[in-house]
Chains A and B, each alone.
Chain A
Amino acid sequence: MAKSLFEKIWEKHVVKTIDDGPSVLYIDKHFIHEVTSPQAFTGLNKRGIRVFRPQQVVATADHNVPTLNQHLPIKEELSRLQVEALIKNCAEHGIELYGLGHPFQGIVHVIGPELGITQPGMTIVCGDSHTSTHGAFGSIAFGIGTSEVEMVFASQCLLQSKPKLMRINVEGVLNKGVVSKDIVLYILSKISASGATGYAVEFAGSAIRSLSMEARMTICNMSIEMGARCGMIAPDETTFAYIKGRKFAPQGAEWDKKVAEWKQLFSDADAPFDQEVFINAAAIEPMITYGTNPGMGIGVSETIPTTETINDTDRSGLAKSLAYMGLEQGAAIKGQKIDYVFIGSCTNSRIEDLRMVASFVKGKKKADGVEVWIVPGSKQVEAQAIQEGIDKIFEEAGFQLRQPGCSACLGMNEDKIPAGKYCISTSNRNFEGRQGAGARTLLASPLTAAAAAVTGVITDVRELLN
């Protein structure tokens, strides 16, 4: 029988299925961080049990670490306590921790792939919804809650029901100035922020195949913003070339064996999907969000929808959203003044993102009155950027290159956007208060964010590219 990529991986991980209930699904890799793990460790201790397979767990500190002076003790007491609890819990349970100061530290979804821990065909979980990022390698990867973190600690398994399957096909060639972030914001604007709820989504088509691994990660990263359980892309030569030689990648004969297995991971020609979506890559322009969910996006040359023109899903929330954003129905988004630029988060903080920004801003300066924060996804990205001299380009442009962490993506540390201020951000969520109470977030690609940094207003980056 013809099978989809998802089904091929799923079936290999089912330990057993409860009658009329979920399956016991085996988990290959479990990433943890300081915010969603402490209560799970406490739960284990209360039950008097230990982590079942500690060698399959990898930890880092990312969500509330400072992005300046990481060598100093964390000033904010509660943040410090969480990071200390992680250190203690990992030591007690024999879990590898890439904590602050470690050369591998970084945002959990950046370090997994960059260390070669994330591999095709795996099941991967983490107490963070953007775990879907790892699906770019052809794995089933999804976010879980803290009780589920405790379950995986206790048994290396989870109880899961099989989701419905959706395939999103993006065919054709992208226009100049359009990058993978624009693809995913475009899909979101078409199917809405709940358009894939209950589905595992496979991204396919020529436009997806032509993307680098880092660009693919950006797309899978935001599949959760469509409500999807997970997002995935079938592995191919691009995937294998990315993994080869990384720290925890298979080596020698083991490598050849693995690649042969990974080559079987694709959806068969007539594999059934519950829903298929078709997107024309050539129709996509640089995207920007205007509202308070990631589905509320438009092309940068378009006007903000009105109650008449908006889709059904967002109609009832439009007025509230625009009141929060301080924007008007029917107005142009181009020319909107911005106060902050945040380039970072597990969506767009990899070396290719930094290179993209650097090549655009080289020889340019940031606009007056705009504050620009660049927060690399990991220590390795930071080191690479410095080695390539990208830090100098940022410095000359007046951009601040900070130290790795989640930072202003969720504003848990000091990196918050003040109430009422506009921030163009390469992160994944424009929810009310996400970047700080009252902060107004506009999501965009690193390129569109860099263009706004230079002009001080929302800009069509294509007009500045030669």
Chain B
Amino acid sequence: MKALTTIQSRFVPVNIENIDTDQIIPARFLKATTREGFGENLFRDWRYYNDDESKTRADFPLNMSQFDGEILVAGKNFGCGSSREHAAWAILDYGFRVVVSSFFADIFRNNALNNGVLPVQVSDEFLQRIFLQDNNTELTVDLEQQTIRINSTGEQEHFDINSYKKTCLLNGYDDIDFLLSNKADIETFEKQRV
């Protein structure tokens, strides 16, 4: 997993609430047996017309050339629905390292953190402030300090992250490394319960 400390970047706004993982990556694109290559189908059915998959929709932010950056900003309750980790892979593969929303679904939050994508949960008000900024505005996400700042206005908010997960992300460790280092305890536990 790639470590993450500070990200300073412009952002891509997708101002829609309750974006479920079927929208992030539709089921028909889940057939790969590797983790790579999902980025091209990120938000597939919103980027293309349903009745003609060769036509892109000019009104969807990912298709608008004025938006760019490593930060995706989305409406409340992001990543609900299916547990497919492909959603986190697609976001990472597309080039995002941070997703900002005022609420994240549980499974998505874990999946993102397990892949080096940082979910930053902000207040509803702060989220609306970000959506009001123009497309050249940069945001700064500082994981060490647990802050997110709108650079042009200096507005800043603190965000929460479990300290264990924070250490993992800052160092690029994952849970498997940690669990494997606990094998002896796990085996003792197994013996004690029978």
13 A–B pairs (Cβ distance < 8 Å), ordered by A: A18-B164, A39-B34, A39-B85, A42-B33, A49-B180, A144-B83, A145-B114, A154-B180, A155-B180, A194-B105, A411-B27, A433-B23, A437-B26
Please tell me the number of chain A residues within 8 Å of chain B, measured between CB atoms: 65
A410 at interface (Cβ–Cβ under 8 A)? yes
A438 at interface (Cβ–Cβ under 8 A)? yes
Q: Does A128 lie within 8 Å of B179, measured CB to CB? A: no
Q: Does A145 lie within 8 Å of B107, measured CB to CB? A: yes
Q: B164 is contacted by which of A20, A47, A154, A412 (Cβ under 8 Å)?
A: A20
**Roughly how many angstroms separate A147 CA and B107 CA in the complex, as a whole number?**
11
Q: A161 is contacted by which of B31, B162, B175, B183 (Cβ under 8 Å)?
A: B162
Question: In A42-57, which residues have CB < 8 Å from any B CB?
Answer: 42-43, 47, 49, 52
Q: Does B26 lie within 8 Å of A147, measured CB to CB? A: no
Contacts of A157 in B (CB 8 A): 179, 182, 186
Contacts of B53 in A (CB 8 A): 437
B11 at interface (Cβ–Cβ under 8 A)? no
Question: In B73-119, which residues have CB < 8 Å from any A CB?
Answer: 75, 77, 80-86, 88, 103, 105-107, 110-111, 114-115
Q: Does B179 lie within 8 Å of A78, measured CB to CB? A: no
Contacts A15-B186, A36-B85 hold; do A197 and B22 have CB atoms under 8 A apart?
Answer: no
B125 at interface (Cβ–Cβ under 8 A)? no
Q: Does A194 lie within 8 Å of B18, measured CB to CB? A: yes
Q: Does A419 lie within 8 Å of B50, measured CB to CB? A: yes
Q: Does B83 lie within 8 Å of A38, measured CB to CB? A: no
Contacts of B105 in A (CB 8 A): 194, 197, 227
Question: In B59-79, which residues have CB < 8 Å from any A CB?
Answer: 75, 77
Q: Does A15 lie within 8 Å of B182, measured CB to CB? A: yes
Q: Does A437 lie within 8 Å of B45, measured CB to CB? A: yes
A167 at interface (Cβ–Cβ under 8 A)? no
Q: Does B186 lie within 8 Å of A26, measured CB to CB? A: yes
Q: Does A433 lie within 8 Å of B26, measured CB to CB? A: yes
**Roughly how many angstroms separate A159 CA and B85 CA in the complex, as a whole number?**
16
Among residues of A, the one whose C-beta sits closest to the C-beta of B164 is A21
Contacts of A158 in B (CB 8 A): 175
A96 at interface (Cβ–Cβ under 8 A)? no
Q: Does A194 lie within 8 Å of B186, measured CB to CB? A: no
A355 at interface (Cβ–Cβ under 8 A)? no
Among residues of B, the one whose C-beta sits closest to the C-beta of A296 is B18
Q: Does A145 lie within 8 Å of B45, measured CB to CB? A: no
**Roughly how many angstroms separate A419 CA and B84 CA in the complex, as a whole number?**
23
Contacts A26-B189, A145-B111, A432-B23 hold; do A197 and B103 have CB atoms under 8 A apart?
Answer: yes
Among residues of A, the one whose C-beta sits closest to the C-beta of B177 is A47
Contacts A21-B163, A194-B103, A197-B77 hold; do A38 and B33 have CB atoms under 8 A apart?
Answer: yes
**Roughly how many angstroms separate A412 CA and B31 CA in the complex, as a whole number?**
9
Among residues of A, the one whose C-beta sits closest to the C-beta of B31 is A78
Q: Does A293 lie within 8 Å of B85, measured CB to CB? A: no
Q: Does A24 lie within 8 Å of B83, measured CB to CB? A: no
B35 at interface (Cβ–Cβ under 8 A)? yes
Among residues of A, the one whose C-beta sits closest to the C-beta of B26 is A433
Please tell me the number of chain B residues within 8 Å of chain A, measured between CB atoms: 54
Q: Does A431 lie within 8 Å of B20, measured CB to CB? A: yes
A16 at interface (Cβ–Cβ under 8 A)? yes
Taking the closest CB of chain B, its distance from the CB of A226, in whole angstroms, is 10
Contacts of B179 in A (CB 8 A): 24, 151, 154-155, 157, 159
Q: Kindly name the residue among A12, A85, A410 whose own CB sees the greatest number of chain B CB atoms within 10 A.
A: A410
Among residues of B, the one whose C-beta sits closest to the C-beta of A143 is B83
A445 at interface (Cβ–Cβ under 8 A)? no
Q: Does B22 lie within 8 Å of A229, measured CB to CB? A: no
Q: Does A438 lie within 8 Å of B18, measured CB to CB? A: no
A15-B185, A42-B33, A145-B88 are known; give 13 further A-B pairs, CB within 8 A.
A24-B186, A26-B193, A145-B83, A148-B111, A154-B176, A155-B179, A163-B106, A317-B17, A411-B27, A411-B28, A419-B51, A431-B20, A432-B22
**Roughly how many angstroms separate A85 CA and B33 CA in the complex, as a whole number?**
8
Contacts of B50 in A (CB 8 A): 419, 433, 437-438
Q: Does B162 lie within 8 Å of A21, measured CB to CB? A: yes
Taking the closest CB of chain A, its distance from the CB of B127, in whole angstroms, is 13
Q: Does A147 lie within 8 Å of B106, measured CB to CB? A: no
A425 at interface (Cβ–Cβ under 8 A)? no
Among residues of B, the one whose C-beta sits closest to the C-beta of A316 is B17
Question: In A139-176, which residues have CB < 8 Å from any B CB?
Answer: 143-148, 150-151, 154-159, 161, 163
**Roughly how many angstroms separate A85 CA and B34 CA in the complex, as a whole number?**
11
Taking the closest CB of chain B, its distance from the CB of A289, in whole angstroms, is 14
**Roughly how many angstroms separate A193 CA and B80 CA in the complex, as a whole number?**
9
**Roughly how many angstroms separate A411 CA and B18 CA in the complex, as a whole number?**
21
Q: Does B162 lie within 8 Å of A412, measured CB to CB? A: no
Among residues of A, the one whose C-beta sits closest to the C-beta of B110 is A145
B142 at interface (Cβ–Cβ under 8 A)? no
**Roughly how many angstroms separate A99 CA and B68 CA in the complex, as a whole number?**
44
Q: Does A433 lie within 8 Å of B22, measured CB to CB? A: yes
Contacts of A384 in B (CB 8 A): none
Taking the closest CB of chain B, its distance from the CB of A432, in whole angstroms, is 6
Question: In A106-155, which residues have CB < 8 Å from any B CB?
Answer: 127-129, 143-148, 150-151, 154-155
Q: Does A81 lie within 8 Å of B163, measured CB to CB? A: no
Q: Kindly name the residue among B83, B103, B115, B179 whose own CB sees the greatest number of chain A CB atoms within 10 A.
A: B83
A82 at interface (Cβ–Cβ under 8 A)? yes
Taking the closest CB of chain A, its distance from the CB of B183, in whole angstroms, is 7
Q: B31 is contacted by which of A15, A64, A159, A429 (Cβ under 8 Å)?
A: A64
**Roughly how many angstroms separate A26 CA and B32 CA in the complex, as a whole number?**
30
Q: Does A127 lie within 8 Å of B83, measured CB to CB? A: yes
Q: A293 is contacted by which of B20, B28, B30, B86 (Cβ under 8 Å)?
A: B20
Q: Does B175 lie within 8 Å of A197, measured CB to CB? A: no
A198 at interface (Cβ–Cβ under 8 A)? yes
**Roughly how many angstroms separate A12 CA and B192 CA in the complex, as a whole number?**
11
Contacts A15-B186, A129-B83 hold; do A147 and B175 have CB atoms under 8 A apart?
Answer: yes
